[in-house]
Amino acid sequence: MGQNNKDQSLDNKNSNQNDEIDLIDLFSIIGNKVSQLFKGIWSMVLAVLVYSYTKIYQFKIIIIIGVLVGGMLGYLSKNTSQYYASKATVKSQFLTGVDFSTELNELNALCTDEGRPMLAKALNLPLATVENISEIVAEGYFVKYRNNLEQDSLYYRALEDETRFQINIKTSVQSITKTEIQEGFDYFFSNNEYIKKRMTIHKENLNRNIETTQKEIEVLNEFSDAYKQIIIQQSKIQSTTKSNSNVLLFKSSEEEGLVKQSGDLALQAMGELALKNEELKDLSTQLILVEPVQFVNRFSELYTVSLSTGGKTLIGMFIGFMIVIGVLLLLDINTFMKKAAKL
């Protein structure tokens, strides 16, 4: 019985050793395959580099000619693929944040052949004028200048409450004037229903505040006049009592205290009156300046936007280089296929 247990223990030990050997072999095989894979990739990269170097050295004259021709064509195309742009800066008090951007995005969606009749209606411009408008984009200044910083709730509040935006217009021709663009957007913002409602409510609130301030000014004027009258009357009484030696001294002291108190109240009323007058001026200025949106910078003259001459020249040189290499590669593939087909 003991011998059987001993044999069984030896069998289990041999089995565990075999399992360990199998795992080691498995990991060894995986390691070899990965190593072969990386060697294959490196061999392929090396072969491509050697092939490229050989072809470039072998056909360097043709490649140089191709690069020069491509660069020349790129330089000659410096005036192509350009467009024109105009931009304006607006401060939108009533339509803010993403709501403003959404309105302009809806206009941008109309910059298509099917949508331009509706765009012409929205901007109140001739269809022939808006046919060449290719893009309308609104960019918030918070996003424009601080988007690279880490933001939390401040960022989201700015997206909702931001009031300053840059509007960018792109056109395919330069015949559209900045005056036409400005008039179109003035009309669009003036007839925006949401802005009109908010602006009406804002004006009503300003008018109510102006009326309230005017009434407060009238009351303060009345108080100030009343205090002045008290001072004048008490001054007359004091001059009379000074000529009458039978008047008691304590009565004169009470009158002087009343004059002093009236003077203090008059000065206080005058100070409050000055503040209310400043408040009235500020409210009146706000009412005068109320607009659907305020154009801080009106639309600029259309300016040309295109890739730089140097950039187009470099792109042309690169394209010329790739065309020559591509032709050489196709010729080698053709030669290889002929050999494989024994033609």
CATH number of domain containing 221: 1.10.287
Asked if residue 11 is part of any domain, the answer here is no
Judgement on whether residues 157 and 226 belong to the same structural domain of the protein: no
Number of domains in the chain: 2
CB under 8 Å to 316, separation ≥6 — which residues? Answer: 70, 71, 72, 73, 74, 75, 77
Judgement on whether residues 275 and 203 belong to the same structural domain of the protein: yes
Judgement on whether residues 98 and 160 belong to the same structural domain of the protein: yes
CB under 8 Å to 249, separation ≥6 — which residues? Answer: none
Asked if residue 321 is part of any domain, the answer here is no
Asked if residue 331 is part of any domain, the answer here is no
Asked if residue 339 is part of any domain, the answer here is no
Asked if residue 276 is part of any domain, the answer here is yes
Dmax of the chain from CA atoms?
148
pLDDT at 22: 63
Cβ 330 vs Cβ 73: under 8 Å: no
Distance CA 209, CA 280 (A): 8
pLDDT in tens for each of the 343 residues of the chain? 444 544 555 455 555 555 555 667 667 777 788 888 888 888 888 888 888 888 888 888 888 888 888 888 877 776 666 788 999 999 888 888 888 888 999 999 999 989 999 999 999 999 988 988 989 998 887 766 665 555 555 555 556 677 889 999 998 888 889 999 999 999 999 999 888 888 888 888 888 888 888 888 888 777 766 666 666 666 665 555 555 444 444 444 445 555 556 556 666 667 777 787 888 888 888 888 788 888 989 999 888 877 666 777 888 888 888 888 888 888 888 887 877 777 6
* CA 160 from centre of chain: 12
Complete DSSP assignment for 302-314: PEEE---HHHHHH
Asked if residue 69 is part of any domain, the answer here is no
Judgement on whether residues 234 and 262 belong to the same structural domain of the protein: yes
Write out the two tokens for 210.
């102006």
pTM value surpassing 0.85: no
Distance CA 238, CA 312 (A): 96
The domain in which residue 276 lies consists of 198-290
Write out the two tokens for 26.
């498995």
Judgement on whether residues 239 and 272 belong to the same structural domain of the protein: yes
Residue matched to tokens 């008090």:
93
Judgement on whether residues 105 and 166 belong to the same structural domain of the protein: yes
Whose CA is closest to 73, among 305, 304, 323?
Answer: 323
Judgement on whether residues 203 and 186 belong to the same structural domain of the protein: no
Judgement on whether residues 245 and 171 belong to the same structural domain of the protein: no
pLDDT at 292: 86
Asked if residue 337 is part of any domain, the answer here is no
Distance CA 103, CA 185 (A): 12
pLDDT at 157: 58
Provide φ and ψ at 168, rounded to 5°.
Answer: -115, 130
Asked if residue 103 is part of any domain, the answer here is yes
Judgement on whether residues 145 and 246 belong to the same structural domain of the protein: no
Judgement on whether residues 169 and 90 belong to the same structural domain of the protein: yes
Judgement on whether residues 240 and 210 belong to the same structural domain of the protein: yes
Distance CA 89, CA 101 (A): 13
pLDDT at 27: 72
pLDDT at 228: 65
Residue matched to tokens 């223990």:
9
Judgement on whether residues 272 and 172 belong to the same structural domain of the protein: no
